[in-house]
Structure 1
Amino acid sequence: MEQKRSYILSLLFIFLLSPVLLRAQITEFKDSIIQISGITMTADSLKAIPAVSIMVRGQYRGTISNKQGVFSIVVFKGDTLSFSAIGFKKQDYKVPANLPGNAYSLIQLMVEDTMYLPATIIRPYLTKEEFERAFATMDIPDDAYERARKNTEAHHLRALARITPVDGREATNMYMRRQAQSLYYAGQPPPQNIFNPLSWAQFIQAWKRGDFKRKED
């Protein structure tokens, strides 16, 4: 009996203490979250750097600075922010774990990264005959205009039309036209073009033009 009473008192004590523990955990969780707001600038001239990638190390989340170099991100205290941009050295910033409050302002300075490419030496052809032979046999790639002209040729477009499936917009329009046609002749049989003289005239003209002949692309 005494053991049962102790068990009931223990459960009651835990039940009464659980809201306090839960509130303490929520408070601790809120205190560990911080919003970092700042700006990315060059270290030498203090100019804003846009499109800087700010990633939380070890996690698949981050943000990008806007055109004025301003950014804002919510992290945990103790996380490490990694700043990277094309033309600048990668910078890391570790958020202090003992920062007071839940908001912090940061000015991140970026140092330009200079890349040196290997030297390239341009040499002329040894003789005039060698230059003429290379110029006559050189495979010059097509420019943008020539590629566009080849891609818009009639036989090329016909070949693409045979193998290219319709997209969602074309399929929707086709379905809507069929629905409209079926509703237009609802309650009556649709007309038969076999008795239409205009359709026969168009068919004869197409036959004379050779539209029904199989053409090799």
Structure 2
Amino acid sequence: MKKLISQLTFSLFLGIVLMAIKAPEANAQGGRKVMQLSGIILGEDSVAGLPGVHVYVPKAGRGTTSNRVGYFSLPVLEGDEIIISAIGYERQFYRVPATDRDNLTIVVELVSDTTFLETVEIMPFPTEQIFKEAVLALNLPINPNEAVDVNEELMALMLQSVPMDGAANHRYYMDNWIQYQNDRYGPRSNPLLNPFNWANFFRSLRSKKK
């Protein structure tokens, strides 16, 4: 029995201490009224809500985000400064007004934040001077109409030794695939056995004699 009385006394004492601690905090807020702030966040020229928009009170360290239809709700105090922000939109500020109601509903329309970046030219040279030196080292002909001497043996060697690029490999694969599709349903025809080919051949010989 004495143990139970001691526990009740301690609990009562702890409750009084906690109330004494919370009292200055309530006085520090100036007795401002707590209300529930709700609303819908819309985009510019849009009738659909924006999801994932941050709605928070920076001084109090509390906030929330809008759901998939742009709806949000959080408890606030009168006079709170609320920031509404989202990526790609300009930041909006809202102050909770003094009212007798316990809840407040607002509609927020965010404006797109358009940022124009400067043109970036990608070059394999870190400086303009190195680029000029590389161009001068090519020793190109001054006259653009001047014919370039091409060695036929060198070109033939390059044709045999240089591997095919991506476009040539793709063309080679597609040709083989088409030929494979044609050979699936029957043997490949011999053009020498086609009588129409022979007729065209003799017709061409007669036209040449004339």
Rg larger in 1 or in 2? 2
Q: TM-score, normalised by structure 1?
A: 0.42
